[in-house]
């Protein structure tokens, strides 16, 4: 037996829905038609069977009534039965036999001779046409002996009517099936309209006619649209950062490089010690600016499918900073397990925690403590040192974008600005406080899902 053809998941959604729903509609209508025939037959048999049982009971009553008169049980046929009795019947008691109407006597005799009781059927042929008798056979114990009663009805006409009704029902079901197919097609068309609008918006995005997908898609496609818009936002931010980095580098490097070039080209000016120190200072500032801009350009930002392992990465950073600052003790306090992941790019997590640890280690007297906790599904990170700290009036200025290292409190500068900028990209929050040890306490929160 050949295997069923599998629906191609890469095909049209409209085609796939039609391929699934239309056969299902046909099967359901066919099943309903078959069930209708079974129910119709069952109802007919129950109705006729009850009528036949009632009339057998009537005949039994007549037999017992005639027996109570002191006479032999007998059923008198004639006008009375023609008025109240509508079925063929046969009674056999001892050696006597009564059957009406006469034309059904052979068939009724055959039904009398059968052994089973209850509803029975018997096929007959009359006037060149075949038919069927539905009868009810019962045995009654009388004083004179056992009596066998059969009441039967020709159900051929009823079966023909039932069959006609069944085929009329099939015609109605066919019309309903056609209407159902049209309804399915219309429902699919209307449901996928928004998808068509989304496809048109993507085409306009490809052609540069729009910058974002601002359509209202179905609920199932909203995460997709959100991720596409987030990807576009990330690309725009990276492009903007790259351009800003190039502009900053061009502006910052032009002056010191020109000054150094003039000094080196001036053959009349000797390179004495003060001049060498001035050149070294200018080149050092240039290198520092270059490193800062390169660090900014490495930001990844929120990306779907990216996650970090906070605990192992924090341990690695603490180990590395411990080698760079051997006089400072680093402590990690967390209840998170080693395998717990968080929706933040690994490089960004290392950049955030690395800047906080490096800043704290520079000004700590003896220790730096890191805390990682989960509060209301948010990742909470706290880094504090036991250094001199920052004056309360200067805390709001920490991490302000655009302020250079030499424009802020020494030691709490560009690294904190990078931290604040990165956390804001993930929809988080950063607060600067005075620690109980007197040093700086940096607390930040990262959301459980990427903020779009």
pLDDT at 292 over 70: no
> Which SS3 state, helix, strand or coil, does residue 5 take?
coil
Joined together, the tokens standing for residue 332 give: 């990690």
Joined together, the tokens standing for residue 87 give: 């079925």
Joined together, the tokens standing for residue 170 give: 């099939």
Q: Are 354 and 368 in contact (CB under 8 A)?
A: no
Q: What is the pLDDT of residue 234?
A: 74
pLDDT at 314 over 70: yes
Q: What is the pLDDT of residue 82?
A: 43
Q: How confident is the model at residue 293 (pLDDT cuts 50, 70, 90)?
A: low
Q: Are 301 and 237 in contact (CB under 8 A)?
A: yes
The dotted CATH code for 310-446 is 3.30.565.10
Mean pLDDT of 316-330: 90
Spatial separation of the C-alpha atoms in residues 31 and 43, rounded to whole Å:
18
CA distances from 291 to 19, 49, 285 (A): 59, 99, 10
Spatial separation of the C-alpha atoms in residues 257 and 236, rounded to whole Å:
31
Q: What is the pLDDT of residue 212?
A: 79
Spatial separation of the C-alpha atoms in residues 277 and 274, rounded to whole Å:
5
Q: What is the dihedral of CA 269, 273, 275, 281, to 10 degrees?
A: 160
Give the sign of the dihedral formed by CA 71, CA 75, CA 78, CA 84. Answer: positive
pTM exceeds 0.85: no
Lowest mean pLDDT, pick from 65-69, 293-297, 307-311, 315-319: 293-297
Q: What is the pLDDT of residue 407?
A: 42
Joined together, the tokens standing for residue 370 give: 């890191």
The dotted CATH code for 14-162 is 3.30.450
Lowest mean pLDDT, pick from 32-36, 238-242, 313-317: 238-242
Lowest mean pLDDT, pick from 15-29, 79-93, 230-244, 338-352: 79-93
The 10 Å Cβ neighbour count of residue 380 is 15
Question: pLDDT exceeding 70 applies to what percent of the chain?
Answer: 76
Q: What is the pLDDT of residue 91?
A: 84
Q: How confident is the model at residue 224 (pLDDT cuts 50, 70, 90)?
A: confident
Q: How confident is the model at residue 219 (pLDDT cuts 50, 70, 90)?
A: confident
How much of the chain is in helix, strand and coil states, percent to nearest 5? 55, 20, 25
Q: Among the ranges 101-105, 122-126, 185-189, which has the highest mean pLDDT value? A: 185-189
Q: What is the pLDDT of residue 23?
A: 85
pLDDT at 401 over 70: no
Question: pLDDT exceeding 90 applies to what percent of the chain?
Answer: 10
DSSP code string of 333-396: EE---TT--BSS-HHHHHHHHHHHHHHHHHH-SSEEEEEEEEETTEEEEEEEESS----GGGGG
pLDDT at 308 over 50: yes
Lowest mean pLDDT, pick from 39-53, 63-77, 184-198, 271-285: 63-77
Q: How confident is the model at residue 303 (pLDDT cuts 50, 70, 90)?
A: low
pLDDT at 72 over 80: no
Angle at 426 between CA 422 and CA 430, to 5 degrees: 60
Spatial separation of the C-alpha atoms in residues 350 and 346, rounded to whole Å:
6
Mean pLDDT of 176-187: 86
For 75, which DSSP code? -
CA distances from 273 to 126, 277, 281, 324 (A): 136, 6, 12, 31
Question: 410 vs 293, which has greater pLDDT?
Answer: 293
Joined together, the tokens standing for residue 98 give: 């009564």
> Which SS3 state, helix, strand or coil, does residue 256 take?
helix
Mean pLDDT of 244-257: 66
Given strand 88-93, what is the order of strands in its sheet? 96-100, 88-93, 145-154, 129-142, 118-126
Spatial separation of the C-alpha atoms in residues 386 and 436, rounded to whole Å:
8
Q: What is the pLDDT of residue 269?
A: 67
pLDDT at 260 over 90: no
Can you tell me which residue has the tokens 């967390």? 334
> Which SS3 state, helix, strand or coil, does residue 145 take?
strand
Q: How confident is the model at residue 373 (pLDDT cuts 50, 70, 90)?
A: very high
Mean pLDDT of 180-189: 84
Q: What is the pLDDT of residue 141?
A: 81
Lowest mean pLDDT, pick from 191-200, 254-263, 355-364: 254-263
pLDDT at 382 over 70: yes
> Which SS3 state, helix, strand or coil, does residue 215 take?
coil
Q: What is the pLDDT of residue 332?
A: 93
Q: What is the pLDDT of residue 291?
A: 66
> Which SS3 state, helix, strand or coil, does residue 122 take?
strand
């Amino acid at each position: 037996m050949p295997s069923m053809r599998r629906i191609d998941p890469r095909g049209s959604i409209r085609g796939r829905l039609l391929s699934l729903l239309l056969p299902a509609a046909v099967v359901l209508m066919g099943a309903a038609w078959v069930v209708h025939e079974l129910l119709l037959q069952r109802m007919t048999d129950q109705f006729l069977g009850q009528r036949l049982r009632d009339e057998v009971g009537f005949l039994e009553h007549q037999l017992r009534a005639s027996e109570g008169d002191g006479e032999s049980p007998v059923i008198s046929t004639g006008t009375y039965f023609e008025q109240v009795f509508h079925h063929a019947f046969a009674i056999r008691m001892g050696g006597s036999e009564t059957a009406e109407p006469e034309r059904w006597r052979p068939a009724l005799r055959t039904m009398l001779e059968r052994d089973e009781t209850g509803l029975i059927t018997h096929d007959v042929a009359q006037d060149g046409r075949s038919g069927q008798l539905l009868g009810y056979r019962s045995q009654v114990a009388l004083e004179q002996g056992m009596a066998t009663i059969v009441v039967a009805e020709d159900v051929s006409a009823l079966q023909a009517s039932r069959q006609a009704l069944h085929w009329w029902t099939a015609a109605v079901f066919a019309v309903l099936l056609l209407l159902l197919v049209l309804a399915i097609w219309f429902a699919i068309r209307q449901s996928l309209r928004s998808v068509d609008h989304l496809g048109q918006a993507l085409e306009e995005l490809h052609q540069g006619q729009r910058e974002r997908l601002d359509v209202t898609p179905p609920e199932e496609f909203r995460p997709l649209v959100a991720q596409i818009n987030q990807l576009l936002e990330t690309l725009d931010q990276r492009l903007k950062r790259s351009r800003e980095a190039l502009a900053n580098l061009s502006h910052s490097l032009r002056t010191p490089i020109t000054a150094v070039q003039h000094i080196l080209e001036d053959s009349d000016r000797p390179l004495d010690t003060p001049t060498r120190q001035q050149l070294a200072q200018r080149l050092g500032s240039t290198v520092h600016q270059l490193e800062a801009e390169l660090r900014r350009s490495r930001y990844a930002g929120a990306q779907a499918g990216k996650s970090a392992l906070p605990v192992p990465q924090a341990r690695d950073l603490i180990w590395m900073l411990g080698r760079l600052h051997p006089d400072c003790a680093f402590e990690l306090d967390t209840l998170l397990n080693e395998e717990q992941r968080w929706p933040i790019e690994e490089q960004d997590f290392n950049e955030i925690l690395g800047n906080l640890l490096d800043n704290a280690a520079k000004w700590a007297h003896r220790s730096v403590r890191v805390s990682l906790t989960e509060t209301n599904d948010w990742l909470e990170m706290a880094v504090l040192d036991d250094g001199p700290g920052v004056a309360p009036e200067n805390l709001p200025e920490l991490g302000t974008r655009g302020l250079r290292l030499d424009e802020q409190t020494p030691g709490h500068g560009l690294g904190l600005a990078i931290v604040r900028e990165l956390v804001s990209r993930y929809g988080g929050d950063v607060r600067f406080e005075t620690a109980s040890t007197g040093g700086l306490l940096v607390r930040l929160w990262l959301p459980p899902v990427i903020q779009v």
